[in-house]
């Protein structure tokens, strides 16, 4: 019989535990979180990211359980109850992103683009957003028609130089990527002052001159047609980025009354030209920026039947208010689509754990719970200084990934919280997947959501905001598996492919 001393044993375990924790803390200080781990063969694809970075989109083996599925805490999928179809997840491809990407050696650029957009071996990003003309992350302020007269419309050289080549590479890797286009400002010659009548010639603020509605509608149509002729099909446009924002490096104040009036011109013109591109309205914050008279901006637009007939849905940002505002929209207008189109991270209060978990819950689960069909985040690649950026725009933003401006190498890429959030959805939820119901088993601190992919596989994403691990047992009616999701972690599952 082997005898040990209890204090000795306990202290040994304590010391061992301390050393493990110490290893964790070393991991958490890693300045350069890794990309996807090597594929693992098992029944269930499982990817895990923890808030303290012990696992960063790490793939773990997980097999189906052989026990009888008797768990009272089991989450049972109910694929017969179906909700919205998912369009995808991805970043904004801005001029700054294109600039940085093209600074990379070609092989390195292909590597990061394949890592993110390849639907088989990569994360399968399938929805991107880009600006129509300049934004606060381009190499200047511009539109595609800066000289007065719509006849002067042409591709701006910055976009042809910075954005088009990158778009071509992305679409070559994943032809199913869908593009949402958004203007930050109309051409300045189409603007009037905030009073609606006075002359105005700034990039920032101003309103759309009603006398230019026809020209501006033509501008949108020509932009879509030009992009498509260049090989870039446009899935949707939003009428104006942040229409209630009078600041930024480029902007246009477009209250709901203006947007409704303009859509009544834009919609018929797009239809007349045979364009299938969707029109999304609003594209701004949940709280309507607290602008008097602009509360329920989207509801007011949808309530205007003449405008609403051309509007496929609404787009949202999270810089103000709460995602619960979408309850209002999805309840009142369930037939209208919902997209989350912009959230930024930056040096203001950034915390990997809080940002990764909190935004996964509020942006991804929060919007999809309310009918959201896709998420785009702002924006794909910046350098370590948050550049290139524009005066008056964001100087302290992080990209989905950041790259060193010293060598623009793949090795220098730092993956931020948004990268992992996008990865956890995009890797397991395919474009065309349908959100399905579950039996809504309540698990403390855990929020989750289930989907059925077009290939018949199931996807399941979960976030645990508590500090304790929680057991998840998921049953699709034929198979079930269990996994102890760590505290402060996201886990994504996909299984049943080709079975």
Partner 1 sequence: MRKMKTFMRNMAWGFLAVALAACSKDPEFETTDVGPVLEKIAFDERASMGDIITYEFRISDPLPLSTLDAELYFDNDLVASASLRVKSDGVYRDTLSVPFYREIPDGEATVVITGRNIRFGETQQRYKVRVERPDFDHLTFVMSDGEYRMDRIAPYEYAVTDDFPQKAKGYIEAPAFASGEKITFGWDVNQVISGSTTQIPFSQSNAGECTISFNTLTFAASPFTKLLFNGEEMSMVDNDNYSTVTMLTQGVQYEISGIPDFGSWDVDRDFFERGDESQPGVLTFLPMSGQYKVTANFKHNYLKIEAMKSATELAVLNGDGSGAVWVIGGKSVGKPSLNNSYDWKPESGGLCLARIGSTRYQLTLVGGVSIDTKSVDFKFFHQKTWGGEFGGGKITTTSETFVAGETDGNIRLAAGKTLKAGYVYRFTLDVTPNATDTKLSTAVLTVEEIEGELPAADLRVNGQAMTQSDLDNYSIDLDLEQGAEITFSGADMFEPAWCNPDFFDAVSQTPRLVPVSGKYRITANRATKVIDALVLNADGSDLATLSDDGHGAIYYIGYGLGSPAAVNEPGWSEKKGICIPEYAPQIYKITAQAGQKGSTVLGQRFRVSEWSGKFFKGRNWTGITPMTLAPGTEKLLWINPDGNNLEVAPGVELEEGATYELTVDLTGGNSHPVITFVKK
Give CA angle at 35 (59, 52), nearest 5°.
75
Q: Which of 201, 271, 331, 467 binds partner 1 (CB under 8 A)?
A: 331
Q: Which of 34, 172, 332, 411 binds partner 1 (CB under 8 A)?
A: 332
Q: Which is nearer to partner 1, 273 or 479 (CB)?
A: 479
Using CB under 8 A as the binding rule, whether residue 348 contacts partner 1 is answered as no
| Footprint (CB under 8 A) of partner 1, residues 105-144 | none
Q: Which is nearer to partner 1, 404 or 482 (CB)?
A: 482
Q: Is the dihedral of CA 25, 31, 36, 37 positive or negative?
A: negative
CB of 6 to partner 1, least distance (A): 4
Q: Which is nearer to partner 1, 31 or 274 (CB)?
A: 31
Among the candidate windows 68-76, 99-107, 377-385, 460-468, which touches partner 1 by CB under 8 A? 68-76
What H or E segment, with its residue span, contains residue 225?
helix 213-229
CB of 18 to partner 1, least distance (A): 6
Using CB under 8 A as the binding rule, whether residue 306 contacts partner 1 is answered as no
Q: Which of 147, 198, 271, 290 binds partner 1 (CB under 8 A)?
A: 290
Q: Which is nearer to partner 1, 195 or 406 (CB)?
A: 195
Q: Please, are residues 490 and 425 in contact by the beta-carbon 8 Å criterion? A: no
Using CB under 8 A as the binding rule, whether residue 466 contacts partner 1 is answered as no
- How many residues touch partner 1 under the rule CB under 8 A: the total is 45
Using CB under 8 A as the binding rule, whether residue 68 contacts partner 1 is answered as yes
Q: Which of 136, 215, 258, 325 binds partner 1 (CB under 8 A)?
A: 325
Among the candidate windows 31-39, 185-193, 291-299, 401-409, which touches partner 1 by CB under 8 A? 291-299
Q: Which two tokens stand for residue 353?
A: 């754990």
CB of 287 to partner 1, least distance (A): 11
Helix axis angle, 213-229 to 256-272, nearest 10°? 50
| Footprint (CB under 8 A) of partner 1, residues 258-277 | none
Q: Which two tokens stand for residue 144?
A: 């595609």
Q: Which is nearer to partner 1, 15 or 172 (CB)?
A: 15
* DSSP codes, 312-373: -EEEEE-SSS-TTHHHHHHHH-TTSEEEEEE--EESSS--HHHHHHHHIIIIIIHHHHTTEE
Give the residue among 109, 111, 110 at the shortest CA–CA distance from 101: 109
Q: Please, are residues 284 and 244 in contact by the beta-carbon 8 Å criterion? A: yes
Q: Which two tokens stand for residue 48?
A: 């895990």
| Footprint (CB under 8 A) of partner 1, residues 467-496 | 471, 473, 480, 482
CB of 340 to partner 1, least distance (A): 17
Using CB under 8 A as the binding rule, whether residue 4 contacts partner 1 is answered as yes
Q: Which of 31, 38, 39, 70 binds partner 1 (CB under 8 A)?
A: 70
DSSP symbol at 159 = I
Q: Which is nearer to partner 1, 198 or 439 (CB)?
A: 439
Among the candidate windows 177-185, 226-234, 289-297, 381-389, which touches partner 1 by CB under 8 A? 289-297
Q: Which two tokens stand for residue 272?
A: 């007349």
What phi and psi, each to the nearest 5 degrees, are found at residue 480? -145, 155
* DSSP codes, 72-140: TT-EEEEEEEEEEEP-EEEEB--HHHHHHHHHS-HHHHHHHHHHHH-TTTS----EEEEEES--TTSSS
* Residue 44 bridge partners (DSSP): 495
Q: Which is nearer to partner 1, 236 or 462 (CB)?
A: 462
Q: Which of 292, 391, 440, 499 binds partner 1 (CB under 8 A)?
A: 292
Q: Which of 74, 85, 110, 257 binds partner 1 (CB under 8 A)?
A: 74
CB of 478 to partner 1, least distance (A): 13
Q: Is the dihedral of CA 393, 395, 398, 404 positive or negative?
A: positive
Residues 6+ apart with CB under 8 A from 22: none
DSSP symbol at 271 = H
Q: Which of 327, 407, 455, 468 binds partner 1 (CB under 8 A)?
A: 327
Distance CA 60, CA 55 (A): 10
Q: Which is nearer to partner 1, 102 or 328 (CB)?
A: 328
Q: Which is nearer to partner 1, 227 or 326 (CB)?
A: 326
| Footprint (CB under 8 A) of partner 1, residues 7-26 | 7-9, 11-12, 14-15, 18-19, 22, 26
Using CB under 8 A as the binding rule, whether residue 295 contacts partner 1 is answered as yes
Q: Which is nearer to partner 1, 335 or 498 (CB)?
A: 335
* Beta pairing class for 127-132 and 178-183: parallel
Q: Which two tokens stand for residue 243?
A: 């229409």
CB of 437 to partner 1, least distance (A): 15
Give CA angle at 178 (375, 86), nearest 5°.
50
Q: Please, are residues 98 and 149 in contact by the beta-carbon 8 Å criterion? A: no
Among the candidate windows 89-97, 107-115, 178-186, 327-335, which touches partner 1 by CB under 8 A? 327-335
Using CB under 8 A as the binding rule, whether residue 442 contacts partner 1 is answered as no
Distance CA 456, CA 280 (A): 30
Q: Give the residues lining the site for partner 1 (CB under 8 A).
A: 1-9, 11-12, 14-15, 18-19, 22, 26, 29, 65, 67-74, 290-293, 295, 324-328, 330-332, 439, 471, 473, 480, 482
């Amino acid at each position: 019989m082997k005898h040990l001393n209890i204090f000795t044993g306990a202290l040994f375990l304590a010391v061992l535990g301390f050393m493990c924790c110490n290893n964790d803390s070393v991991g958490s200080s890693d300045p350069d979180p890794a990309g996807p781990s090597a594929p693992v063969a098992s029944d269930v694809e499982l990817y895990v990211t923890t808030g303290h970075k012990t696992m960063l989109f790490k793939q773990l083996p997980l097999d189906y359980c052989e026990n009888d599925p008797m768990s009272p805490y089991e989450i049972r999928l109910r694929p017969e109850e179906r909700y919205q179809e998912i369009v995808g997840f991805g970043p904004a491809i801005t001029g700054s992103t294109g600039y940085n990407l093209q600074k990379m050696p070609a092989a390195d650029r292909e590597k990061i683009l394949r890592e993110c957009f390849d639907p088989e071996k990569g994360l399968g990003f399938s929805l991107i957003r880009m600006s129509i003309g300049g934004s606060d992350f381009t190499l200047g302020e511009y539109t595609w028609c800066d000289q007065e007269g719509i006849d002067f419309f042409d591709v701006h050289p910055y976009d042809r130089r910075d954005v088009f080549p990158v778009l071509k590479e992305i679409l070559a890797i994943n032809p199913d990527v869908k593009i949402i286009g958004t203007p930050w400002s109309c051409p300045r010659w189409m603007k009037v002052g905030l009073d609606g009548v006075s002359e105005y010639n700034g990039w920032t603020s101003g309103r759309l001159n009603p006398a230019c509605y026809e020209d501006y509608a033509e501008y949108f149509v020509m932009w879509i047609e030009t992009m498509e002729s260049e090989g870039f099909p446009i899935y949707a446009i939003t009428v104006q980025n942040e229409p209630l924002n009078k600041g930024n490096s480029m902007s246009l104040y477009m209250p709901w009354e203006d947007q409704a009036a303009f859509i009544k011109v834009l919609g018929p013109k797009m239809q007349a030209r045979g364009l299938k591109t969707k029109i999304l309205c609003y594209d701004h914050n949940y709280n309507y920026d607290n602008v008097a008279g602009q509360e329920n901006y989207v509801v007011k637009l949808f309530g205007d039947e003449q405008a609403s007939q051309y509007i496929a849905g609404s787009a949202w940002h999270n810089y103000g208010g709460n995602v619960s505002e979408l309850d209002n929209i999805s309840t009142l207008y369930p037939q209208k689509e919902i997209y989350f189109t912009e959230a930024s991270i930056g040096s203001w209060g950034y915390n990997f754990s809080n940002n990764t978990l909190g935004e996964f819950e509020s942006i991804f689960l929060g919007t999809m719970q309310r009918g959201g069909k896709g998420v785009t985040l702002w924006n794909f690649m910046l350098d370590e200084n948050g550049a290139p950026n524009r005066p008056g725009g964001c100087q302290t933003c992080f990209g989905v990934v950041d790259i060193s401006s010293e060598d623009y190498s793949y090795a220098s890429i730092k993956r931020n919280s948004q990268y992992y959030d996008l990865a956890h959805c995009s890797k397991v939820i395919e474009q065309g997947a349908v959100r399905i119901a579950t039996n809504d088993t309540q698990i403390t601190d855990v929020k989750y959501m289930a989907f059925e992919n077009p290939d018949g596989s199931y996807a399941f994403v979960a976030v645990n905001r508590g500090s304790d691990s929680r057991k998840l047992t998921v049953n699709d009616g034929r198979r079930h598996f269990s996994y102890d999701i760590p505290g402060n972690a996201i886990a994504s599952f996909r299984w049943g492919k080709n079975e």
